[in-house]
Amino acid sequence: MPSALPLRTDHSPADLRRLARKTKDNNQSRRLLSLAAVLDGMNRTDAARIGGMDRQTLRDWVHRFNNQGPDGLCDVHAGGVEPRLSADKLAELAAIVEAGPDREKDGVVRWRRVDLQRVVKERFGVHYCERYIGTLLKKLGFSHISARPRHPAQHGEIVDAFKKTSRAR
């Protein structure tokens, strides 16, 4: 049977327990308590059970602890996928939405998600599904409510003349 992986000894079990009390990360605290139990002489299976893990997982955390110390016992999050549109391109998209469509060039009177999907594909070479265009607009600060479109041949004077007015009392 192979021997257990040696644990670095620059921290005493009392030091590890003190660090476990001070930390705000619950997972790091559990791992520190398991390692303190190992340094106290408990077998690794029981020490792993204290931290709610199996023996192999405890061995992986011993590797991290030996290489990085107590800070290595924190969870490391990858950060996710890099966005497909940079901040500059998002600002350009916001300017396009704010300016509104050109009737001759874009062929529409007001922006719909499907129209913006086409514009993003043509301008930036990025394909988003139609539903995500709505999410993207929400992130940019636009709401789904839009003004009622006006016919381009509509004249303001004619509309004002047509409106009913009440008689003065």
Three-state SS for 31? helix
1 inside domain: no
* pLDDT average, residue stretch 123-140: 94
Residue 18, domain member (yes or no): yes
Q: Which of 41, 73, 105 is the last residue of a domain?
A: 73
Looking at the structure, tell me whether residues 33 and 65 fall in a common domain: yes
User: What's the domain count of the chain?
Assistant: 2
pLDDT at 1 over 50: no
Asked if residue 93 and residue 51 are part of one domain, the reply reads no
Mark whether 105 and 66 lie in a shared domain: no
Considering the domain boundaries, does residue 160 fall inside one?
no
Region 127-137: mean pLDDT is 94
pLDDT in tens, 145-163: 766 667 767 787 877 777 7
% of the chain exceeding 70 in pLDDT: 94
Same domain, 62 and 102: no
Q: What's the average model confidence in pLDDT over 95-100?
A: 93
How far, in Å, CA of 29 to CA of 72, rounded? Answer: 12
Q: What is the mean pLDDT of residues 30-50?
A: 93
pTM: 0.51
**Is 16 within 8 Å of 33 (Cβ atoms)?**
yes
Considering the domain architecture, whether residues 17 and 69 belong to the same structural domain is answered as yes
* pLDDT computed for residue 6 by the predictor: 86
What range does the domain containing 128 cover? 87-146
Q: Do 105 and 55 sit in the same domain of this protein?
A: no
Residues 100 and 126 in one domain: yes
Which of 148-152's residues contact partners 24+ apart within 8 Å by CB, and which partners?
A: 149/109, 149/110, 152/103, 152/109
99 plus 141 within the same structural domain: yes
